A and B are shown apart, each in its own frame.
Chain A
Amino acid sequence: MNQTKSSGCACGGSVTILLPCSGAADTGEIADRAARKFAQGGCAGMFCLAGVGANISGFIASAKGADRLLVLDGCNLDCARKTLAEKGITANIIHLRVTDMGFVKGKSPATAEHVDTVVAELGKKLTASL
């Protein structure tokens, strides 16, 4: 089963989940769209960061149970990473920032080209962690 859309059984291989900040700014939009596109490839499952923030036990337990958390923030406010840290989730995190990839917040529309650049970075980071 694909963890992108529904529950994944941890019986088989390792489980990687993807948590973009999905912020309102253009770089947040890039993060969201890149995460969704990357998840479609099947290497990681899109995850509900809002569910973690809302203190829903299932989301928090699932995040703690994942083998790898690909955390993608749009800017250096690091809302996604900090939301996880608030719930004690700090292990197994691979953290990326859209603004660390040369994008400037407020001046970087979420074009397909920009999204693809971030998707490629996600792939590189994940591959390096394996």
Chain B
Amino acid sequence: MLIQILGPGCFKCQKLEENARQAAMELNLDFHIEKIKDLQQIMTFGVMITPALVVDGVVKVAGKVPGVEDIKKLLAKK
């Protein structure tokens, strides 16, 4: 599973990455996390508010930092 964190690297972006990593680990997923800070690249996802969480190419959340349990639900839905 490819998990991408879109954002400039601020506190919220870091927190989102941390929560996503924790969620994926708790679900025992085979995953890879990639951080995307380049705005032009972020815009190719249609994302206009960061931070955003992308799972296998699908933007799940933008502009918010869900908790670990909420992210686990998002990852499990996939």
* Chain A positions near chain B (C-beta within 8 angstroms): 1, 3, 6-11, 15, 17, 45, 47-48, 51, 56-62, 64-66
Contact = CB atoms under 8 A, between A and B. Distances in A.
Contact of B42 (A7, A45, A48): A7
Max chain B Cβ within 10 angstroms of own Cβ: one of A1, A9, A61, A62: A61
B64 A48 contact: no
A66 B64 CA distance: 9
Contacts of A61: 47, 52, 59-63
A65 B46 CA distance: 13
Contact residues of A: prevailing secondary structure: mixed
Contacts of B63: 10, 15, 61-62, 64-66
Those 10 A-B pairs whose CB atoms lie nearest each other, nearest first: A65-B63, A58-B46, A61-B62, A57-B59, A58-B45, A10-B63, A58-B47, A65-B62, A58-B59, A62-B48
Interface of B: 6-8, 10-13, 39, 42-43, 45-52, 58-64
Given A45-B48, A59-B46, A65 B64 contact: yes
A62 B43 CA distance: 11
Contact of A9 (B7, B60, B64): B7
B46 A57 contact: yes
A10 B64 contact: yes
A48 B47 CA distance: 10
Nearest to A57: B59
Max chain A Cβ within 10 angstroms of own Cβ: one of B7, B45, B60: B45
Contacts of A6: 39, 43, 48
